[in-house]
Amino acid sequence: MRFLGDKGITVKRKAREQKDTFLQPLAVGIVSAILVTLILVMGFLDIRRSETNLVGFLEDQALSTISVLQRLTEENLRSIISPPEKRPSGLKTASQEEAAYSKRWVLEAITDLCRKVDEQWRKGKVNDDYLKQFAAENNFWYLAVLDRNGNAVYQSGPLRTDMLEARELRMGGRKLTPLEIMEKIRAKHGIGFVVLQRKDNSGMVIVSLDKEGLIYWSLKVAVEKGIKKIGEGHGIVYMQIINDQKKILSSVGQPMHVLKNGDFNYKEILTGKIKIASKKVDSGNSKILDLAAPLFLDKKVVGIVRMGLDRGSMDKIIAENKQNIFVFMFLVVVIALLSMWLLYYDQNRHLSGIIEMERRLEKAERLSSLGQLAAGVAHEIRNPLNAISIAAQRLKKDFVPADSSKAEDFCNLSGIIRDEIRRLNGIIEEFLSFSKSRRLELRDFSVTEILQKIVSLIREEAQGRGIVIETKWLHSPAV
**Amino acid 129: pLDDT:** 92
The terminus-to-terminus CA distance of the chain in angstroms comes to: 48
pLDDT for 1 equals 41
For the stretch 385-404, pLDDT in tens is 888 887 877 777 777 777 77
Distance of CA 399 to the CA centre of its chain: 108
- More reliable by pLDDT, 69 or 1: 69
pTM equals: 0.58
Q: Is the pLDDT of residue 369 over 70?
A: yes
The secondary structure of 112-148 as a DSSP string is HHHHHHHHHHHTT---HHHHHHHHHHTT-SEEEEEET
Higher pLDDT, 26 or 127: 127
Residues 6+ positions from 139 with CB-CB distance below 8 Å:
209, 212, 213, 216, 217, 247
| Average pLDDT score, the chain | 78
For CA atoms 192, 246, 292, 313, give the dihedral sign: negative
Separation CA 366–CA 434 (nearest Å) = 13
Q: Which residue has the higher pLDDT, 19 or 231?
A: 231
| Exposed e or buried b per residue across 121-144, where buried means at least 16 C-beta atoms within 10 angstroms of its C-beta | beeeebeeebbbebbeebbbbbbb
In this prediction, what percent of the chain has a pLDDT beyond 90? 5
Does 222 score more than 80 pLDDT?
A: yes
Calpha distance 427→185 (Å, rounded): 150
Q: Which residue has the higher pLDDT, 309 or 430?
A: 309
Say if residue 198's pLDDT is above 50: yes
Q: Mean pLDDT over residues 77-87, rounded?
A: 66
pLDDT reading at 3 higher than 50: no
Q: Return the pLDDT at 127.
A: 92
pLDDT, average across residues 71-97: 65
Q: Which of 255-264, 423-432, 463-472 has the lowest mean pLDDT?
A: 255-264
Burial (0-12, 13-18, 19+ Cβ within 10 Å), 117: buried
Mean pLDDT of 392-419: 78
Angle value at C-alpha 321, between 317 and 324, nearest 5 degrees: 135
- Angle (CA) 284-248-285 rounded to 5° is 10
Q: pLDDT per residue over 426-466, tens digit each? A: 887 777 665 455 566 677 777 777 787 787 777 777 887 88
In three-state secondary structure terms, 306 is strand
- Number of H helices and E strands in the chain, helices first, is 9, 13
pLDDT digits (tens, 9 = 90+) for 320-368: 888 888 888 788 778 877 887 887 788 888 888 889 999 999 988 888 7
Residues 126-179 pLDDT 10s = 899 999 999 988 888 899 998 888 888 899 988 888 888 888 888 877 888 888
pLDDT higher than threshold 70 for residue 252: yes
SS3 for 40?
helix
Is residue 88 a contact partner of residue 242, using CB atoms and an 8 Å limit? Answer: no
Which range among 112-116, 345-349, 406-410 has the greatest average pLDDT? 112-116
Give the list of residues 6+ apart from residue 435 with CB closer than 8 angstroms, or none.
371
Most confident stretch, 91-105, 160-174, 258-272: 160-174
d(CA 343, CA 110): 84
- The rounded distance, in Å, linking the Cα atoms of 140 and 212 is 9
